[in-house]
Homo-oligomer: A and B are copies of this chain.
Amino acid sequence: MGDVTLEHVSKHYDDVTAVDDMNLDIDDGEFICLVGPSGCGKSTTMEMIAGLTIPSEGKMFIGDREVTNLPPKDRGVAMVFQNIALFPHMDVYDNISFGLRLRNYDKEEIERRVERAAEIVQLQGMLERMPDEMSGGQRQRVAIARAIVRNPGVFLMDEPLANLDAKLRVHMRTELQRLHKELDTTIIYVTHDQAEAMTMSDRIAVIDSGQLQQIDPPLVCYNEPANLFVAGFIGSPSMNFLDGEVAADGFSSTNIDVEFDPADLGVEPGTDVTMGIRPEDVYLVDEESLVSNPSHRIDAVTDVLEPMGDEIFVYLKLSESAETDLEDTSGVANDQLLMSVAPDTDIAEDEDVTVVLDRSRVHLFDTATGEAISHGIETPVQTSGAPGTEAESDD
């Protein structure tokens, strides 16, 4: 009833291709997060599913029905819009109850539901306000409430929590998850918040430039990114990338080499590859004991320190000439490395340090195509560390 299928769906605007040959197969009851850089086509995809934008090409199905040309009202979807779009002439109560009133629910039922929704989004007592008398976050919550009072087959939520503070966001997250379980509906959810995507979704769909890059459970995306783009996009701060090539004994680059047997991974020596390692997989040498499968030791100098409260980001210079360029987010920087350490670590700027990489967490990508070659090297267990296993197993 709530499975959503996109078959070769594209959307072209005059000179922009917003969505490009997208194939998506979302099961009934799944919670899918769409993530991707700004302008990659997430909202457009949502709008097409809702029926607000008609695809230029391709077909769409909800349940068993083809809905490609079905008007929105017959698709059984509810949507939280990125631009919120409250009805300016209705108070909060009327905004929230809009969809119910359309369906002629009886008054008590409407009232019950609205109260319940308002409670979930913590807007009790504001039901008589007009939208322009509310703060940004309050409006956004009204928009959420407006969607969740209904029981559609599919929920579409386009950055529903963008304007909420961390605490409220956590609260809303759990509420949405509970709702998801209770109603057993499909939820398609756009977010820029990694934590949201990681914690809430059954699968994450990573989109870039209108093209689907990977759709997998969160930890699979995190631990086994399908390509450079996904690897760089998922995780914050981003994965470190170093360009190099496959040597006879493994990966070799200007400052860092990582040993492995090319044959194991099925790569030809001489291939240009990019190595990726997440900041949390870089360890100070004192902690080497914690790493089951450490790499060579690497000497570096600390550059900038960014204390985040619960961790510290340390920018490491691998060569003299390196300059920490916080601005460059493209990722690939052969003489830099970002690592994260515990907040109580005794570390200062411009200090010589030695670090090791967790080889079981090293990713290799074909530089030319960006496709992943391997995730983790020479460990008995093929890929990632412990706690993800259960999530992976249901893939």
What residues of chain A have their CB less than 8 Å away from a CB belonging to chain B?
Answer: 13, 16, 35-39, 42-44, 82-83, 133-138, 140-141, 158-159, 162-171, 174-175, 177-178, 192-195, 198-199, 218-219, 222, 232-238, 278-280, 290, 305-312, 326-327, 329, 340, 342-347, 385-388, 391
Tell me which of B134, B164, B192, B222 contacts A309 (CB under 8 A).
B222
Task: Please state if A347 and B387 are interface contacts (CB–CB under 8 Å).
Answer: yes
Please tell me how many copies of the chain the complex holds.
Answer: 2
Complex Cα–Cα for A268 and B58 (A): 72
Report if A38-B137 is in contact (Cβ < 8 Å); known contacts: A237-B170, A391-B307.
Answer: yes
Residue numbers in B under 8 Å from A167 (CB-CB):
37, 232-233, 236, 238, 329
Residue numbers in B under 8 Å from A199 (CB-CB):
306, 308
Tell me which of B192, B311, B345 contacts A169 (CB under 8 A).
B192
Residue numbers in B under 8 Å from A344 (CB-CB):
290, 385-387
Complex Cα–Cα for A312 and B138 (A): 30
Report if A192-B219 is in contact (Cβ < 8 Å); known contacts: A136-B43, A387-B305.
Answer: no
Task: Please state if A192 and B164 are interface contacts (CB–CB under 8 Å).
Answer: yes
Task: Please state if A387 and B345 are interface contacts (CB–CB under 8 Å).
Answer: yes
The 14 sampled A-B contact pairs (Cβ below 8 Å) are A37-B137, A38-B136, A38-B138, A39-B135, A39-B138, A43-B135, A137-B192, A159-B163, A162-B163, A198-B309, A312-B387, A343-B385, A344-B387, A347-B386
